Structure 1
Amino acid sequence: MLNEEAGSSTLMRRDEALSHLPTRVAHRTSEKNPPPYGAQHRQEALWEGGNEALPPRWQQFEAPDGNTQYQDDTLVLESSKRPLPGVRLDDPGQLVHPRCEWHISPLGRSYFINHNTQTTSWKKPKPEHPAGSLMPECVMEGHSQCIWSLACLKASCNVISASEDGSIRQWKRDGEPVGKPWYGDGRGVNTLAVSLDETMVVCGSEDGRLRLWNIKEGSMIGEPWEGHDAAVRSLDWSPDALEIATPPIKTSHGWVVAVKYSPQGDKFISGGNGTICVWSRDGKLLIKIKGHDDAVMSLCWSKDGAHIFSGSADHTIRKWRAIDGKELVVLRGHTNAVTSLCLTPNERYIVSASHDCSVRIWDLKTNQAVGDPFLHDNEVWTVATSADGTFIASAGIDKRIYIWSLEAALERHQVGVFCALVFPYPFLMVLVV
């Protein structure tokens, strides 16, 4: 009797343990249609039953931080280092933009649920542009792959772009190209920074090298700089142009994926796995700032060096006091990772780009979003403001650079605020234009 009970208990524990494992699916090579809207299927692991291979349309590669990543034709997902067969994915159901989320089909193919239209599709849905939303002044086309980084020149207000297609391009505000594209070795260019005198631009590439370019001539200066074992995805030039800081590097405080020198040049900040570190220029850790719930993806300083702004994969933008790391403001409104930040020249506003396909303007006096977001057709990776404060440039996965009138956006917001008429009691009424 005791043996029967013990055997029964063992089977129950085994069955309970097995119930938490990902379910293998039969080997198939194609799926005609995504699951219908309202289907309850949730597959949280990639399986191709029995053959220890990834499902069709998926590739495996190593990320700079040593984690394994898996990519299909739409998404890049990071695993928790679980070996094949069976790769656990930690966040199916993630929003790609408001009321639209991605899931994984039984065969391991990404599909998308659009709750706005109550439909499912293999293709990632485009965000809906509300009637009357502000449209871009200009859309620049020429890159053939994702645009990772932008910079606006102060003197000319020209825009410089770096792309996965291996090229760097310069554009006038009206979209006219300036000269021919610049090419290194053809590999993707992930990040760029312009020297203070605007004579040179330094770029970091997928091959782990840095290249210095003459802006006027569009020619490379010297040989590429080597030293990184992985792709360079962020860099910054010191204000005196004597140094360039580049992650990814691993410190005792975790992986660094973003760096930014202070305007005074006496210190710099780094961000990575949810932590911001403030360093002296000679590499001494001054302050360690914690508060974000996910990776820090973008950083910037106020001109006086008193405040730090950070954008994170936790969907928030935060303002910190630089001297002691005290959190001062949390800006919420994005529905996905915040990938890029920049302050307007007067520092009244901060502009953010996000994987939720939007660019937003935030008023730093009210700590509120200004007007409606500017919408792209896909994830936005980079944003920059012109030195004269008249326009915003943004770009990302959709291969285009969008030029938005900052003046028009602010004027529209001010009209909405100042045209509110309130009549005294008993004729209470509010009219908003």
Structure 2
Amino acid sequence: MITAVDVIRTKRDGGELSTAQIDWIIDAYTKGAVADEQMSALAMAIFLNGAKPREIADWTAAMIHSGITLNLAGVGKPCVDKHSTGGVGDKITLPLAPLVAVFDVAVPQLSGRGLGHTGGTLDKLESIPGFKVDLTEDEVIEQLKEIGAVICAATGDLAPADKKLYALRDITSTVESIPLIASSIMCKKIAEGADAIVLDVKVGSGAFMKDFAQARELAETMVRLGRDHDVDTRALLTDMSIPLGRTAGNALEVRESVEVLAGGGPEDVVELTVELAKEMLAAAGRMDVDPAAALKDGRAMDAWRKMVAAQGGDVDATLPVAQEFEEIKAETGGYISEMDAYAVGVAAWRLGAGRERQGQPVQAGAGIEILKTVGEQVQAGEAVFRLHTDTPARFPAAMETLAGQWKVGAEPAKRGPIILDRIV
């Protein structure tokens, strides 16, 4: 007979959990037969002692089987999903999904909300008047057939064990465990039923993984988990030491995404969107197409408009704008030499763009415009940041967060590459 105490003791003492132990405790926890206190103890034991590849694979499989899996066989075209581990200004999903859909590839993008310094795709899309993120399985499949792209919330029946465990990890300081991160991400992605998954694993101050070696280990673990479940999985390690693009905040990032879909937008956002699109299209067998051309000629914008309209959004509506703004200006002239992504993310959160706990509302118009980024010249007295909020009392804390987290130097700073590595 398996008990929660025995499972916890095994991992506490550095042992290896059996498949039977893992299947039992995930099932029992999902059904409420294992208490949060017991699962907290097990999560901490895994955090401290790690887990072997076989344990991680079994843990992932057990969480997949805790709920339903989507059957996308009826879509009639290759289905490729993308997942980002989260960063600051990471709005890539918004232009990427319709861009890939241009080439008769379905993108079932089940996304989440922001928590802490990283923004949430659903929060961004909900700044579009009328946009609906809660869809049924039938609605998802029908939209994939007709339009090829859907960005919505996952149903509660998809990997419910992970939903319970994720909330627990967040309040027990066990989020940063590679076995728990990898299994959490991949159980949901595999349960979505896509034929292939492309992972964008962020590295740097604005990412959950600050260290390159740890990020690579996470990417390799997730790729292995996908392949173990016969899902073509590949990963890009991408830089998150400085913010991505020129905005951090919900409506601000939607506006920037539309600029990219219109053939413009910041170079780094365009580059990463195109590189991820190439990976997704290659996984779908579409090697002889040019996603960059589809951004330039309006095809991606057409797919975006169809997707937004299908989900109830008013594609021509004016996006929300915050009631107040303040600027942070350079005291000396020169070139922006450093800009800490984490500080920008926290400042946007403090302005109202993010939430401290699940369920809190966010301000659609709050956030930060980055008027000068790393490598660009700035004059004394020229604005570097523009801060937006509906709550002026939030400005001091946001400004304090940014103080000392960006620098002006005498010489132009060279930005490093966005794509740091590729795992296949």
TM range (shorter): under 0.3
**Higher RCO (C-alpha under 8 Å, 6+ residues apart):** 2
Of structures 1 and 2, the larger Rg is shown by: 1
**TM value normalised by structure 1:** 0.25
**Which structure has the highest helix share of the two?**
2
Higher strand content, 1 or 2: 1
TM-score, length of structure 2 as denominator length: 0.25
